[in-house]
Amino acid sequence: MDKIYAHPGSLRNTTTHYCPGCGHGIAHKLVCQVIDELAIRESVIAIAPVGCAVLAYDYWDFDCTEAAHGRALAVATAIKRVRPQNIVFTYQGDGDLAAIGTNETIHAANRGENLTVIFINNAVYGMTGGQMAPTTLAGQKTATTPLGRDVKIQGYPLKISELLTQLPGVCYVERVSLQSPTEIIKAKKAIKLAFENQINKAGFSLVEVLSPCPTYWGLSPVKSMAWIKDVMSKEFPLGRIK
């Protein structure tokens, strides 16, 4: 019999600290599958964010550094500039990438840094207890928007991916979702393309991943997946943006 599925070699064989139904675990696996398929594990340098995925380096079996909250793309920029022969990627949440780190994100993209960015949009701050994120939907209740996000007071969900497409240095932006097996397969393809772009020195590539946070959405894992499909992806449409 042929083996058609196996644990990715670059994903450590351990249990994670993520909540049941969390999307981070799926996204980690996709990244590791792509790295294995492209046979780049030994040249990868990853930058973990500050957020729920801060411990990604406990799960990934390749060189990895932490970065201060929001600064992953500054750290990545320097690593790639001094070691262009390595494959460098950041993995960041919406607070990390699109609130505290917006400046680093826009400028790394605008410099056209030859990097891969995996951007996990779960519409909340998971690690600190479910506060409003820049991507929180209008009306969505969080710890800091107890009555729901009022766009007149807290502004609109920030579509950083769409913003980035305006920059000539950006080569590829796609929004994918973890809501179903079909979408997960598409997500993997997008992640693979984002790494291949770097291998081909094509410039800045970003994949935004709509990812469930059942804990702070107050939904079951199954209902979280349905919420991405029915609600979240209406605000954040899936597909290639650039």
Ligand X SMILES: Cc1ncc(C[n+]2csc(CCOP(=O)(O)OP(=O)(O)O)c2C)c(N)n1
Three-class SS state of 35 = helix
Tell me the CA distances in angstroms from 154 to 30, 97, 119, 138, one per residue in order.
33, 18, 22, 9
- Tell me which of 215, 225, 232, 233 binds ligand SF4, using CB under 6 A: 215
Near another protein by CB under 8 A, which window of 80-88, 122-130, 191-199, 228-236?
80-88
Q: Cβ closer to ligand SF4: 125 or 172?
A: 125
- Tell me which of 33, 105, 122, 197 binds ligand X, using CB under 6 A: 122
DSSP state of 50: S
Q: Cβ closer to ligand SF4: 22 or 210?
A: 22
* 41: number of Cβ within 10 Å: 17
215 interface partner picked from ligand SF4, another protein, ligand X, none, CB below 5 to 8 A per type: ligand SF4
CB of 122 to ligand X, least distance (A): 5
Tokens 């709509």 belong to: 210
Tell me the CA distances in angstroms from 82 to 30, 85, 91, 224, one per residue in order.
27, 9, 20, 41
Say whether residue 8 binds ligand X (CB under 6 A): no
Q: Which helix (H) or strand (E) holds 183?
A: helix 181-199
Q: Cβ closer to another protein: 68 or 222?
A: 68
